Amino acid sequence: MIKTNPFKQIFRRKLTLKQKEAMYGRLFVLPWVIGLIVFFIIPFVNSVYYTFQKLSLGDQGLEFSFIGWENYIYAFTKDPNYVKNLTSSITSMLYEVPIVIVFSIFVAYLLKDEFKGRTFARTIFFFPVIIASGVVITVLKENVLGGSTSNMVASSTTIFKAENLRAVLINAGIPRWFSMYVVDIVNKIFDLTWRSGVQILLILAALHNIPKSFYEVAIIEGATEWEKFWKITFPMISPTVYVAIIYSIIDYFTDYGNQVMRMVVDEANKGRFEYSTTIAIIYFLVVMVIILIVNRVIGKRVVYLT
């Protein structure tokens, strides 16, 4: 039976299938678009406006005076730390993120199959997510890794340091830059493992979403484990790996351990809110450019089933 809802009939006559799809798409995205304008763009524009001001405490609360590009000029030419910290965070991001991603894929691949104690292993690998995002990690970094005087245990964290390794590698005739790189990574193993909890979980979920029939076909065709990984597993999880890469970059840049982030928070605590916002905005414009480049390079290589 044909429904005779007049409203619906008008709708059907006016919109083509494409227009209808677009309309429904916009409806689905609508809450976010409202939020974007009200709770992001307007406050953001407000914040940008502050960066051209000098804030000071006057008789009637905060007072603003327009100073133009002063804050930006200060950040680039006068602040001794800003440019240095900015470049060093970007360069270390470039090599830390690939390691985090490879490590997460590797761990997720190991944890995927059934083995005794898998539940235990998975529980453990989620600990960083529970702990690392809160205040607790700050306490841990100070008390456990910083080596406070109140305990003797702190000294044992030197197991994560690799001072001797560098000498061994250089003596073995390995190029200097490469051995420096290796040593640097070994020193950061603790940090890197702690930073890959989310990525492991995302990739693990993606691995379980690959239909088993794909592997059955591959086995019948006589594929090796290596081929199975590169021809099935990797393309199938590539959308998630893409999320994980973007996430890692952002997580790296917004981490409180990051030098620039620390500067942002410090300046805000000093009461120089306008300068803090200025350096934050420059910083995130730079990060945005990096993400757009990554998006260009990797986004096209991602495989979608449909």
Partner 1 sequence: MKSVKSLSMSYIGKRLNVNEVTKSVAKKRLFIVLKKVFLYAFVICMSYILLYPILFLISNALRSKEDLFDPSVIWIPKHITFSNFEYANVLLSYPTAIKNTLLMLIPSVIIQTFICMMVGYGFARFRFAEREILFTILLFTIVVPLQTIIVPLYVKFRYFDFLYIGKLLGFITGKPLTVNLLDTPWPFYILNLFGMGIRSSLYIFVFRQFFRNMPVELEEAAKIDGCGPFSTFIRIMVPNATGAIITVMLFSIVWHWNDYYVSAMFYNENLPISVMLTVLNNRMSMIQDAYNFSSEDIYLMGSTVLEAGCLMVILPLIVIYIIGQRYFTESIERTGIVG
| Residue list 161-200, contact with partner 1 (CB under 8 A) | 189-190, 193-194, 198
CB 190 within 8 A of CB 204: no
Our finding on whether 99 is near partner 1 (CB under 8 A) is no
Q: Which two tokens stand for residue 169?
A: 């590698």
Among 92, 232, 242, 272, binds partner 1 (CB under 8 A): 242
Among 146, 175, 211, 271, binds partner 1 (CB under 8 A): 211
For partner 1, give the closer residue by CB, 179 or 278: 278
Residues 6+ apart with CB under 8 A from 88: 259
Which positions from 267 to 296 touch partner 1 by CB under 8 A, shown as an x/- string? -x----x---x--xx--x--xx--xx--x-
Among 10, 15, 34, 168, binds partner 1 (CB under 8 A): 34
Query: Which among 63-71, 73-81, 89-97, 263-271 is the span making contact with partner 1, rule CB under 8 A?
Result: 263-271
For partner 1, give the closer residue by CB, 150 or 164: 150
On the CB side of 8, CA atoms within 13 Å amount to: 4
Our finding on whether 134 is near partner 1 (CB under 8 A) is yes
| Three-class secondary structure of residue 150 per DSSP | coil
CB 25 within 8 A of CB 17: no
CB 201 within 8 A of CB 130: no
Q: How far is the CB of 149 from partner 1 (least distance, A)?
A: 9
Q: How far is the CB of 88 from partner 1 (least distance, A)?
A: 19
Q: Amino acid identity, residue 139? A: V
| Three-class secondary structure of residue 63 per DSSP | strand
